[in-house]
Every structure is written in C-alpha cells, then in structure tokens.
Chain A
Amino acid sequence: MSYYPLFVILIPLIFAIVIYLINHPMGRILALLSQVFLLVVGLSYHSVYLPEGEYFLSLGGFGGKLSITLISNPLTYGFSLLSVLLWFAIILYSWPHQKQSSSYYFFLLFLQGVFMGIVHAYDFFNLFLFIEIATILSGILIIYKKDGPSLRAGIYYLVFNTAGILLFLIGLSMLYRMTGTLHMGLIKESLVDVEQDRSLIMIFVLMCVSMGVKSAFFPVYNWLPRAHSVATSSISALLSGIIVKSGVIGLYKIQQVFPMDIYKDFFILLGLITALCGLFFGISQTNIKRLLAFSTISHIGFIVMGLSSMESIASPGVSGALLHIVNHGFLKILLFLSAGSIIRNYKTYDLRKIRGVLHRMPVVGFMMGFGILSLIGFPILLGYQGKALVGEILRDQPLFYLGYHLVNLGTVILFGKLSQIFVPLGSRAPLSISIYDRLSLSVLTSGIVLLNLYQLIFSNFGEVQFYQGNFSLWSWIYFILYLLGAFIIVKLLPLKSPFFDQVRSFELSFQTANYMLVAFLFLMLLWSELPL
C-alpha cells in the first residue's frame, strides 16, 4: 500500500487553506513552495512506481467494496509529477498580477488537489464528486476578473456543465443497482460475464454524454470557447490545457471499466466531427484566445479518436490518447501564456492588429513559434507523438484515415493563420516583457524539451508505449504534403468573405445548447440500435 495519492491530493488543499487564512502577499511564496514540496515528495516515491507498481488505497475501513478507493500506478504518478511543473509555471506567470489576492492562489491550488483526485479516483462516485468540485472551482476562476463577459461565460459554463454531470448520477445509480458496488475494479469483474443488454448500454451512454459535456464534444462544445476566451490568460491556460481533460480522463476510466465494442466506430466518428468542427470555427476567428480555444476542441477530438479502441493502455490508440493528453496540455499552456503576454503588450485581442512578434518580443515569439511548430505535428517534436500513434489505429479504415489527414491539414491551416502575428510589419521597437513571463515560459519550454527527449529516447513509460517511427520517411513526406496543401488551400480560401464573418459570430444560445445535450443523448442511444 502506498499513501502517495493521498499526499498529492491533500498537500495542495492544505497549502491552499493556509494561504487563504494568512491572507498576506507572502501567500504566493507559499504557493510556489507547495509545488517544490510536491515535487520532493513525488521524487521520493520514484522507486515505488518505476519501472512498475500498482497500488490501491482504500479509505474508511469498510473494505474495498464500499470505501473510497484511490489507484496509483506509473501513469497517475507521471500525471502528478508533470502537473507540478504546469502549476509552477502558472503561479510564476501570475506572480506580478495577483499580488494581494490570496483567494486566487487558494482556488488555484485547490483545483490542483481536485484534479489530482480526478486522476487517482477509482470509484465512480468520487470521480463524479471531484469533477463537480472542479466545475465549481473553474466557474469561480472564470469569473475572477468580475467583468461582464467573464460573468456571462461563467454562468453559462456552470449551469450547463452541472446539468450535464447530473446525467452521470443517473447512470451511476443504475450501475450501483446492477452491481452493488461503485469500485471500478469490482464492477469490471462483475460485468465480465454480463451480456451487454439495453440497461448497460443506457448506463454507458448516460455516463459518456456527461463526460462529453465536460470535455466539449461536438454538439455540446459551445461553452468552451466562451469560457476559455474571456478568463485571465493564466486561468485560460489552466482550463484549456488541463481541466478540460478531466472529462476525457473520466471517459477513459469508464471505457476501461466497461468497453462497449458497438461504440468503437461511434467514438472515431465523434472525434473526427469534434476535431473538424473545432477547426472549422477556429479558422474563421480573429480573436487570438478564441482561436486557441477552438484548437483545444480539435485536439480533444484527437484524444477521443485514440480512446475509441477501448483496449488496454499498451495498445497504440489508448497510449496515443494518454500521451496527447499530456503533450497537448503542455503545448497549449505554453501558447496561452505567451498569447497572454502578447495581448498585454499589444493591448489587443485582434490577430490582424498584432504584427512583428518575433522582432518586438523575441523570447516570447521564439517560444510560441516552437509551440506552434510542435502542435501542428512537426515530426519528432512533442505534439506529433500522440497524433502519430492515434493515426496508426485508423490506418485500416480508409475513410477515417482520410478524415485523420484532413484534421492534420486543418491544424496546419489554423496555426498558419495564427502565425501571421510573426510577420514583421510596422514598428520594430522591442517591447518590455516582465521577467516573470520569461521565467515561466522558459520553465515550460525546458519542460517540453525534456519531455520530448524522453519520448524520443525511451520506448515506454509504465504501460504507455511511445511512438517508434519518428525517423521514418513517410512522416516527413506527410508533413510536407500538409504544408503544401495548407498553402494551396489558404491561397484559394476566401477568408474575407461574409460567409466567414457569419461563422465567426455563430454562437449557440443557452437553450439550443440544452437541446443539443438531449439530442446527443438520444443520438448515442439510437446508435446502439443501428444494424452495424
């Protein structure tokens, strides 16, 4: 038995409460210290989890069947170590802006503890509980600026996500009725011989739909660009890089417990449509943060495609999805933080008014360029690893494989549009960037480089397999083809036409979003009746 999961959940919570109670500018030093402390505790456990080791921690003393259960294995260990780096960078980034506000650090650290809870949870009720607390906390962090747009986005996010997560509770009650336990491992055992009948499908659908709301799948995505584009940059980075993944992690846990083979194609299709939809709306955006938020939706699509195989962790699809959860988290946080720095210096959100970043802010510009290059799938860089693995499972199905290439092409176009901020036009006078921005971006970039080297040198981490074909000729040929295709399409695409103006201002109202939620539920139920 290992108490590590308890430590990673409780240490941020305790530090958060202490920071809130002392209510002093010193609090932010404590916030940084908490991350150092977490890192030290984490590193002291490396021999327990590496190279392999899986432990279950049952709290409450009722035995495994009824108590709160936490799982810890190399995967969760890796997640908790990497999260320390991300939170460290974000605390460093918000250092000069949140001098007096101890409540900011309170919510930030509390969110870290809760996210660690989501990663480690091994019974369904606590998964629900942690996800719901994370929703409340992110709602508070979204409205932290207390201006009109953020309040509007915050209430949309809170009410819609809570409505979505209640469906999970209905599924949970039926599952508990069927198996008599909430422990994921025991449920998995008891469902091995059970026939996949209607009630099990109903449970699966209810749970998946609520996780879909949390992680912004296609018909229920509309809260994400709203919420992630209006919050403070550091919060946007956190939400878009990590917290949105809580839904995907929940989906992964559900699929590991009861894999439904009839939904394999559904999830590939759902992932493809989600990715294409994110790209389609993203390409028409002119607000830099909205563009990045829509790109998050497209990457969630990638992850769902990878998870669709519903096999063990070692299979390429699931490995790729888990890798992409981490890799996209790092890269998206880097992009959001550098975008925040650019917005603060140029005092505009409009892509078309930002020019010459590479000349005026060389450090930030260089790091952002590196992040973009990585995220569009430059072979051997970080963003490519997960994508390539996901691509491998789609190779047998020509139609889906074509869609996969289309998504890659779209990603290149989307970030090609973002790259227009590097064009040297107008003033070239260097802008002053605060030392904290540089420090935090350097921490992130060095983390990304190290992670990249690790994934190139080693072949696996725990059960997660890394991509092996980095140096094959085909990856380079495909990449060059994407670039050429993107170049041709951008030349042909009438980006200034009124059609794109309409796409840009297209928003689902709150009522329509709720209709979409119900429609998504029925669509998924209908899929099981299709004769496939």
Chain B
Amino acid sequence: MLQLALILLMIGLGLYGLATSRHLIKSIIFLNVVEASVILFFLRLFYISEGGVPILPSLGAEPVDPIPQALMITTIVIGASVTALALMMSIKIYHQYGTLDWKILLNKEDNQ
C-alpha cells in the first residue's frame, strides 16, 4: 500500500513539474517522470511476491501475469520515441529562437 501511495505521489509530482517548469528540457524530463511512474503503477498492481515464471507453470509457485509486462515494454518503447522526437524538436527550437524557456518562446512574435 505504501508503495502504491509513493507511486501516486510520483505521478502527482510529475504533473506538478509539468505545470510549473519553464524550461523545455525539464518539461520533457517531467513527462518521463510521469510515464515511469505510470509504468511502475501498472506493474505494482499486478505484482505477486515470490511469483513463478509465467512460461514454466510447473515450477510450483503461482505464476505472475505476463500481460502487464508485455504491455509495459510497448509503452516504454513508445515513451522513448516520444522523448527522442521531443528532444530533436528542442534542438531545432534552440537553433531557431535561441531559448528553451516556454514563456519567452511562446510569446515571441513571428512574422507570419
């Protein structure tokens, strides 16, 4: 229960970070914090202490559910690609505007 509470706290912390940080890279880091805690939350919900390997049920112990792990590995892949794309965009933005501050960035006039 304590672990779940801590994980929920981490999700809250990540959202708080997203809502308060003005630096673009920090926003991306906090996005990763939220994502990591969501993955932890998912895995913690289906954790069985001293569970067996799902592919060899004959070993005696109660096998763990393999589905959450399969789903979460996919989520990790998606998260990595989002992070990569976001970091690539921030490099380009820095070249264009010379800043990574959300506030300055979004208020800059462009001659569209």
Is A501 close to B, CB under 8 A?
no
Contact yes or no, A510 B112, CB < 8 A: no
Specify which chain A residues have a CB less than 8 angstroms from the CB of B74 in the assembled complex: 125, 129
Given A162-B82, A170-B11, A173-B68, answer yes or no on A143-B19 (Cβ-Cβ < 8 Å): no
Q: How far is the CB of A126 from chain B (nearest CB, A)?
A: 10
- A76-91 CB mask vs B (1 if < 8 Å, else 0) is 0000000000000000
Contact yes or no, A143 B102, CB < 8 A: no
Is A349 close to B, CB under 8 A?
yes
Q: How far is the CB of A171 from chain B (nearest CB, A)?
A: 10
Contact yes or no, B106 A152, CB < 8 A: yes
Q: How far is the CB of B91 from chain A (nearest CB, A)?
A: 10
Chain B binder among A235-243, A324-332, A511-519? A511-519
Q: How many residues of B contact A (CB 8 A)?
A: 41
Specify which chain A residues have a CB less than 8 angstroms from the CB of B105 in the assembled complex: 152
| Bound: A349/B105 CA distance, A | 22
| Bound: A189/B23 CA distance, A | 47
Q: How far is the CB of B5 from chain A (nearest CB, A)?
A: 14
| Bound: A182/B90 CA distance, A | 36
| Bound: A158/B15 CA distance, A | 15
Contact yes or no, B81 A163, CB < 8 A: no
- A159-194 CB mask vs B (1 if < 8 Å, else 0) is 100110010011011101100001000000000000
Specify which chain A residues have a CB less than 8 angstroms from the CB of B55 in the assembled complex: none
Given A140-B85, A174-B45, answer yes or no on A511-B31 (Cβ-Cβ < 8 Å): no
Interface residues of B in 68-94 (CB under 8 A from A): 68, 71, 74-75, 78, 81-82, 85-86, 89-90, 92-93
Contact yes or no, A159 B31, CB < 8 A: yes
Contact yes or no, B97 A148, CB < 8 A: yes
Contact yes or no, B46 A177, CB < 8 A: yes
A149-B110, A173-B41 known; 19 new pairs, CB 8 Å cut-off, are A125-B74, A133-B78, A136-B78, A136-B85, A149-B112, A152-B93, A154-B89, A158-B85, A159-B18, A162-B82, A163-B34, A173-B45, A176-B68, A287-B112, A349-B112, A510-B27, A511-B18, A511-B21, A518-B19
| Bound: A140/B85 CA distance, A | 8
When the two chains form the complex, which single residue of A129, A155, A517 contacts B89, counting CB atoms closer than 8 Å?
A155
When the two chains form the complex, which single residue of A125, A143, A147, A166 contacts B35, counting CB atoms closer than 8 Å?
A166
| Bound: A509/B107 CA distance, A | 9
Is A132 close to B, CB under 8 A?
yes
Contact yes or no, A510 B93, CB < 8 A: no
| Residue of A146, A514, A515 with most partner-chain B CB within 10 A | A514
| Bound: A176/B24 CA distance, A | 34
Specify which chain B residues have a CB less than 8 angstroms from the CB of A152 in the assembled complex: 93, 97, 105-106
| Bound: A170/B72 CA distance, A | 12
| Bound: A470/B68 CA distance, A | 51
Contact yes or no, A169 B38, CB < 8 A: yes
Is A278 close to B, CB under 8 A?
no
- B21-36 CB mask vs A (1 if < 8 Å, else 0) is 1101001100100110
Is A507 close to B, CB under 8 A?
yes
Specify which chain B residues have a CB less than 8 angstroms from the CB of A133 in the assembled complex: 78
Is A271 close to B, CB under 8 A?
no
| Bound: A159/B24 CA distance, A | 10
Is A139 close to B, CB under 8 A?
yes
| Bound: A170/B8 CA distance, A | 10
Question: Could you show 7 A-B contacts with beta carbons less than 8 Å apart?
Answer: A133-B78, A163-B34, A177-B45, A177-B46, A510-B27, A511-B18, A511-B20
Is B59 close to A, CB under 8 A?
no
| Bound: A132/B31 CA distance, A | 14
Is B1 close to A, CB under 8 A?
no
Is A57 close to B, CB under 8 A?
no
Contact yes or no, A166 B78, CB < 8 A: no
Q: How far is the CB of A135 from chain B (nearest CB, A)?
A: 8
Contact yes or no, B18 A509, CB < 8 A: no
| Bound: A140/B112 CA distance, A | 20
Specify which chain B residues have a CB less than 8 angstroms from the CB of A156 in the assembled complex: 106
Given A166-B35, A170-B11, answer yes or no on A511-B89 (Cβ-Cβ < 8 Å): no
Question: Residue of A at shortest CB range from B92?
Answer: A151
Contact yes or no, B15 A514, CB < 8 A: yes
Contact yes or no, A170 B78, CB < 8 A: no
Specify which chain A residues have a CB less than 8 angstroms from the CB of B112 in the assembled complex: 149, 230, 287, 349
| Bound: A393/B42 CA distance, A | 39
Contact yes or no, A159 B28, CB < 8 A: yes
Given A148-B110, A149-B110, A159-B27, answer yes or no on A169-B89 (Cβ-Cβ < 8 Å): no
Q: How far is the CB of A505 from chain B (nearest CB, A)?
A: 10
Specify which chain A residues have a CB less than 8 angstroms from the CB of B93 in the assembled complex: 148, 151-152, 155
Q: How far is the CB of B88 from chain A (nearest CB, A)?
A: 9
Given A169-B38, A176-B67, answer yes or no on A136-B82 (Cβ-Cβ < 8 Å): yes
| Bound: A147/B97 CA distance, A | 10
Given A152-B93, A169-B38, A174-B45, answer yes or no on A163-B18 (Cβ-Cβ < 8 Å): yes
Q: How far is the CB of A141 from chain B (nearest CB, A)?
A: 12
When the two chains form the complex, which single residue of B24, B81, B103, B108 contacts A136, counting CB atoms closer than 8 Å?
B81
Contact yes or no, A169 B75, CB < 8 A: yes
Is B96 close to A, CB under 8 A?
yes
Specify which chain A residues have a CB less than 8 angstroms from the CB of B22 in the assembled complex: 511
Contact yes or no, B42 A511, CB < 8 A: no
When the two chains form the complex, which single residue of A154, A287, A510 contacts B106, counting CB atoms closer than 8 Å?
A510
Given A129-B74, A176-B67, A510-B106, answer yes or no on A143-B20 (Cβ-Cβ < 8 Å): no
| Bound: A492/B34 CA distance, A | 49
Specify which chain A residues have a CB less than 8 angstroms from the CB of B24 in the assembled complex: 155
Specify which chain A residues have a CB less than 8 angstroms from the CB of B110 in the assembled complex: 148-149
Q: How far is the CB of A160 from chain B (nearest CB, A)?
A: 9
